[in-house]
Structure 1
Amino acid sequence: MKVMQLLPELNSGGVERGTLEIARALVADGHESLVVSHGGRLVNQLETEGSKHCTLAIHKKALSSLWQIRPLRQLIEAEQPDILHVRSRVPAWLTHFALKGIPAHKRPHLISTVHGFYSINRYSQIMTQAEKVIAVSDSVVQYIQDNYKNCPPQDIVRIFRGIDPVAFPHGYQPSAQWMINTYKDFPQLENKFLICLPGRITRLKGHETLIDLMQQLHSQYPQLHAVVVGGADPKKAAYLEEMQNTIATKGLTEHITFVGHRSDIREWLALSNVVLSLSNQAETFGRTALEALSLGTPVIGWKRGGVAEILSRLYPQGLINVDDQVALIHAIQQHIDTPQQVAEVTSFSLKEMCDQTLALYKQVVQASN
């Protein structure tokens, strides 16, 4: 088979990572893999792993993007892929218009992946207009069924995102050198009970909840320390400053550490005693929660979206009813007083995700033959 995946850019994020993972699986299985995007820092890795990258400006939600319809159509006609797999709304619309200019019997099969709880409107509906619509969790399946009646339930295929257990092995410990460097950079973390809030600095990630928690618990548990792992976009600098001012006003500067954007997230998740998932909105999957559990680190999070699906299967004692601050504090106290064990994770594997996606590609191609 020849499969062409389309997404806005190849810089960082879950959609990008999933695209590379499927591209790698296609090549390993002897198929041809093409990716169309505006480019980015992951292109080099993609090409090194055996895929072809085609650069097109299919990333902007702007009228000027319509100029890309003809070049995209020409690319599809030149490459003649068996399957087009769209992973984002602008590329999906451009693909929709590009295919209109190709005779029906010459069009490739169209598959989409709904990665997010998109706004409910005509613009987002394009993601549910494909032969098969992949949903990344049961929550997303429900969301499509509730909000997009145009999409027949039998066309929705739930394929959980997956992680590589080799990359996040159970019981993993950071190297001695990493520990030495980390405690040199952040001496305040040594010999502490660390609760970690991973994720970019935005109002959605629940930092305010973390600050409230620390205010309630730090005097009772002087060994408790919070670590925020994630960078602030320049546009979020004001929010970061506002948070740091709040922390200073509450006398918590010595108890909460921001370590910025990190490429060593595995080490931070393994170093932590508890990882928190406190987003203000439901997450479609919750990859970081899964990575932490895979390493054997307990996760405590709100009972909604993909995170709830992961916790209910792998670590139900970490589930807290949304915004129940009392239950959240109680759960953290329990974890400090009695360290908890996380069983080895045997589901949500990257291999399952890739196998199921490739099986869907083959099924769609064989059905037409």
Structure 2
Amino acid sequence: MHAILQVVPALESGGVERGTLEIARAIHAAGHRSIVMSAGGGLVAPLESQGSEHITWPVGRKSLRSLRLVRPLRDFIREQGIELIHARSRVPAWIVWRALQGMRTDERPAFVTTFHGFYSPGRYSSVMTRGDRVIAVSNSIAEYIQQHYPACPPERIHIIHRGVDPAEFPHGYAPAEAWKETFLRSLPEHARGRALLTLPGRITRWKGQLDFIEVIDALIREDHPVHGLLVGGTERRRRRYELEIRKAISERGLDSHITWLGQRSDLREIMTVSFAVLSLSRDPEAFGRVSLEALSLGRPVVAYAHGGVGEQMAALFPQGGVPPRNPREATRILSDWLKHYSPPTPAPLTRFTLQQMQRETLGVYDRLFQPESFMNSRDDRAG
């Protein structure tokens, strides 16, 4: 049994946090000791319920005071016999890195980092390339690392795509009739009987809500019976952008053609009753969970084909791939599908699954536990 520590800023919500719990579950299932260190949050209880331990430390605070945690962390590593540390964010990674520098080579645990996003290039982000192994969540991220951090040896980078669980998002899933009736009744009367087009995503400019409005407007002008659904919450600092979206909807006369659903806990069900799910992020995403969840359900997706989402579309559903920032092409594809009311159906997932991600991540750990591999990686890191 090995003692494995994952370090993240907090356990509130989000893709990084969800991935932390998914790997923690796999570590525990493999018979190892799974520990997560963070500032805490709503996901601590489910983490502990699946067999992992949680240590509450303020490891995500962006302050020089965080360096005070270096020595206590070093002591913690020794006391708990930690053999591998996996850092998933930059501030925690710096704390871990500093702690490891003060340890003898023969007592230092293996160090793994995950590049979860297109971090701004520079010294602050460079810590994510200092692991014995650097996990990139997509080919796009691996290329970004090599472009901006050429000193990171390519053999140290491992591409492990994030994945979804086909059991949680089963192909052909149908929601309960009671839910379906209640949901459809909650929509404006004008929406009933129309093809629902759904754009999930938090309310922020780069998620492409304004492009979505443009697509709905064009389809309505072509006399297609569609209704748009915006699903996602708005942070306080994004209120001005929300007002901009609402103004754009009103100015185009689309108030009865687009429904703002806000944050929802039943997105899976909403996607299953949608004619198509859209992903219109104007900047490339490192991964893109929602588009993959929709594809896993067997729902057609129209997406800007760049970043991690572009990789998903090329591999799983090329029919829905659209050049980035091109709402006109997204409209053309949807218009063609609507004319025949028979959009193509994605095949069941055989790639980008949760189980594949867990297996490949634990494979990286296992190789570092092998004495020869471990010593070589530490020699590389020291150099």
Question: What is the aligned residue count?
Answer: 369
Aligned match of 2:235 in 224, 233, 236? 233
Correspondence list, 1:208-287, <5 A: 208-287=210-289
Asked if the contact 2:5–2:82 (Cα under 8 Å) also holds between the matched residues in 1, the reply is yes
Which residue in the other structure is 1:336 paired with?
A: 338
Which residue in the other structure is 1:306 paired with?
A: 308
Distance in 2, matches of 1:156 and 1:92, equals: 16
Which residue in the other structure is 1:198 paired with?
A: 200
Letter in 2 for 1:206: G
Q: Deviations over 1:282-337 (max 9, x none)?
A: 00111111110110111111121111100011110111112233322111101212
Aligned match of 1:368 in 357, 360, 374? 374
1:71 aligns with 2:75: no
Deviation at 1:184, TM superposition (A): 3.1
Runs of 4+ that moved beyond 3 A: none
Q: Secondary structure at the match of 1:204?
A: helix
Which residue in the other structure is 1:59 paired with?
A: 60
Q: Which runs of 5+ in 2 are unaligned?
A: 376-383
Aligned match of 2:349 in 345, 351, 357? 345
Distance in 2, matches of 1:368 and 1:345, equals: 34
Which residue in the other structure is 1:41 paired with?
A: 42
Distance in 2, matches of 1:316 and 1:184, equals: 34
Distance in 2, matches of 1:221 and 1:33, equals: 56
Q: Deviations over 1:46-84 (max 9, x none)?
A: 000000000100112122222222222222122121100
Choose 125-134 or 57-66, whichever is displaced more.
57-66
Which residue in the other structure is 1:80 paired with?
A: 81
Which residue in the other structure is 2:28 paired with?
A: 27
Distance in 1, matches of 2:27 and 2:192, equals: 44
Residues 352/289 of structure 1: CA separation in 2 closer, same or farther (3 Å cut): same
TM-score by length of 2: 0.94
Deviation at 1:246, TM superposition (A): 1.8
Deviation at 1:222, TM superposition (A): 4.9
Q: Secondary structure at the match of 1:113?
A: strand
Distance in 1, matches of 2:78 and 2:57, equals: 15
Distance in 1, matches of 2:194 and 2:61, equals: 45
Residues 220/368 of structure 1: CA separation in 2 closer, same or farther (3 Å cut): closer
Distance in 1, matches of 2:305 and 2:49, equals: 40
1:355 aligns with 2:359: yes
Aligned match of 1:323 in 306, 322, 325? 325
Distance in 2, matches of 1:40 and 1:194, equals: 35
Distance in 1, matches of 2:34 and 2:152, equals: 27
Q: Secondary structure at the match of 1:110?
A: strand
Distance in 1, matches of 2:106 and 2:347, equals: 51
Distance in 2, matches of 1:222 and 1:153, equals: 49
Letter in 1 for 2:109: P
1:173 aligns with 2:179: no
Letter in 1 for 2:66: S
Distance in 2, matches of 1:187 and 1:254, equals: 7
Distance in 1, matches of 2:260 and 2:72, equals: 45
User: Percent identity at matched positions?
Assistant: 43
Choose 232-241 or 202-211, whichever is displaced more.
232-241
Q: Secondary structure at the match of 1:164?
A: coil
Q: Deviations over 1:159-216 (max 9, x none)?
A: 1111110000011111112112212322444322011111100011001101111222
Choose 336-345 or 44-53, whichever is displaced more.
336-345
Distance in 1, matches of 2:209 and 2:195, equals: 18
Q: Secondary structure at the match of 1:283?
A: coil
Asked if the contact 2:116–2:137 (Cα under 8 Å) also holds between the matched residues in 1, the reply is yes
Letter in 2 for 1:353: M
Q: Secondary structure at the match of 1:226?
A: strand
Q: Secondary structure at the match of 1:300?
A: strand
Correspondence list, 1:79-228, <5 A: 79-188=80-189, 189-228=191-230
Choose 359-368 or 334-343, whichever is displaced more.
334-343
Q: Secondary structure at the match of 1:343?
A: coil
Asked if the contact 2:215–2:328 (Cα under 8 Å) also holds between the matched residues in 1, the reply is no
Distance in 2, matches of 1:325 and 1:277, equals: 11
Deviation at 1:264, TM superposition (A): 1.4
RMSD, aligned CA: 1.3
Aligned match of 2:298 in 285, 296, 299? 296
Asked if the contact 2:224–2:335 (Cα under 8 Å) also holds between the matched residues in 1, the reply is no
Q: Secondary structure at the match of 1:161?
A: coil
Q: Secondary structure at the match of 1:361?
A: helix
Asked if the contact 2:212–2:327 (Cα under 8 Å) also holds between the matched residues in 1, the reply is no
Q: Secondary structure at the match of 1:218?
A: helix
